[in-house]
């Protein structure tokens, strides 16, 4: 029996397959249902799928257990939260703007995210909803509550590269630094080198990837695919 092979530094790539499946399914859901009906469909996905997975854990039927296992990896309910947030912004922009103008609400959201993050998957669905609410604050360019700067915007452009490459960079830095300082070093110099080199090299690799790998594909959109105007446009 062949053993499962794992590639070091690429465990985060599991999300790529999930994204591909979602992007194949999501346009069909939007096309099939009218906006009002779509809201109920999204609500059913967000609430119903976690409930189904919870019930299926004790099921005696292999097909139900397999479906629950697939949905546990698919996690479409979290992406549905993002889709529902986009619909809310598109159809109720003025109401959203009144909501995002409250510093008390903003502070409460940030506080609850900080508290719930320490509880693992126990409150993952609630965290998804809170992050969606936080997103509504951050996309409002006129909102004085949101911290904005050019360096943060530039990091946002390469954020996917940071997500994909930083584990590989991390393992490379660990190996290099261990070979020169020893694996038992845990002083200020060791930590400074580890954190400094991982951060800087991750940013450097992500910048190169964005320039030479991602941008050529992004430019194809304007030549070979239909351009769809955003809600803001």
Q: Is 65 exposed, middle or buried (0-12, 13-18, 19+ CB in 10 A)?
A: middle
**What would the pLDDT profile of 134-180 be if each residue is shown by its tens digit?**
988 888 777 777 777 888 889 999 999 999 999 999 999 888 888 87
Tokens of 60: 């005696």
The reply to whether 58 and 73 lie within a common domain is yes
CA distance 118 to 115: 6
Residue burial 174-188, b: 16+ Cβ < 10 Å; e: rest: eeebeeeeeeeeeee
Query: pTM of the full predicted structure?
Result: 0.72
In a domain, 97, yes or no: yes
Residue 5 lies in a domain: no
Question: Token match 């940013």: residue?
Answer: 203
Which residues lie below 8 Å from residue 121, measured CB to CB, with a gap of 6+? none
Do 19 and 74 belong to one domain?
yes
Q: Which of 103, 220, 97, 204 is nearest to 155 (CA)?
A: 204
Q: Which pLDDT band holds residue 199 (cuts at 50, 70, 90)?
A: very high
**Residue 212: its pLDDT value, please?**
94
- Total domain count for the chain? 3
CB 99 within 8 A of CB 136: yes
Is 162 in contact with 206 (CB distance < 8 Å)?
yes
Confidence of residue 9 (pLDDT cuts 50, 70, 90): confident
In a domain, 7, yes or no: no
Domain end position, chosen among 44, 64, 91: 91
Using DSSP, state whether 103 is helix, strand or coil: helix
3-state secondary structure of 140: coil
The residue length of the chain stands at 233
Do 137 and 110 share a structural domain? yes
Of 97, 220, 216, 200, nearest to 155 by C-alpha is 200
User: Do residues 155 and 162 lie in contact, with contact meaning Cβ atoms separated by under 8 Å?
Assistant: yes
Q: What pLDDT, on a 0 to 100 scale, did the predictor assign at position 75?
A: 80
Residue 59, domain member (yes or no): yes
Domain end call among 47, 76, 91: 91
Name the residue range of residue 168's domain. 150-224
Do 18 and 82 lie in one domain? The reply is yes
Regarding whether 72 and 24 lie in a shared domain, the answer is yes
Domain assignment of residue 196, yes or no: yes
Is position 232 within any domain? no
Give the residue from 128, 146, 164 where a domain finishes: 146
Q: Judge whether 231 lies within some domain.
A: no
Is position 204 within any domain? yes
Are residue 29 and residue 72 in the same domain, yes or no?
Answer: yes
Rounded Cα gap, residues 86 and 26, in angstroms: 13
**Pair 183, 128 in one domain:** no
Residues 179 and 211 occupy one common structural domain: yes
Instruction: Lowest mean pLDDT of 12-21, 39-48, 200-209, 223-232, name the range.
Output: 223-232
């Amino acid at each position: 029996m062949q053993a499962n092979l794992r590639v070091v530094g690429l465990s985060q790539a599991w999300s790529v397959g999930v994204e591909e499946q979602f992007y194949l399914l999501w346009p069909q859901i939007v096309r099939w249902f009218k906006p009002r009906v779509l809201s109920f469909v999204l609500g059913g996905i967000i609430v119903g799928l976690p409930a189904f997975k919870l019930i299926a854990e004790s099921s005696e039927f292999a097909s139900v257990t397999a479906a629950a296992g697939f949905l546990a990896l698919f996690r479409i309910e979290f992406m549905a939260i993002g889709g529902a947030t986009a619909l809310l912004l598109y159809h109720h922009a003025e109401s959203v703007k009144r909501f995002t103008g409250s510093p008390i609400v903003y502070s409460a959201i940030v506080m609850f995210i900080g508290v719930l993050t320490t509880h693992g998957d126990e409150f993952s669905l609630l965290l998804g909803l809170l992050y969606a609410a936080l997103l509504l604050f951050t996309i409002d360019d006129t909102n004085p509550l949101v911290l904005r700067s050019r360096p943060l915007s530039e990091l946002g452009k390469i954020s996917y590269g940071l997500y994909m490459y930083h584990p590989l960079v991390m393992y490379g830095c660990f190996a290099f630094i261990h070979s020169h300082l020893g694996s038992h070093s845990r002083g200020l110099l060791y930590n400074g080198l580890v954190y400094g080199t991982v951060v800087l090299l991750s940013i450097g690799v992500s910048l190169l990837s964005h320039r030479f790998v991602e941008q050529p594909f992004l430019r194809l959109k304007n030549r070979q695919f239909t351009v769809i105007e955003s809600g803001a446009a």
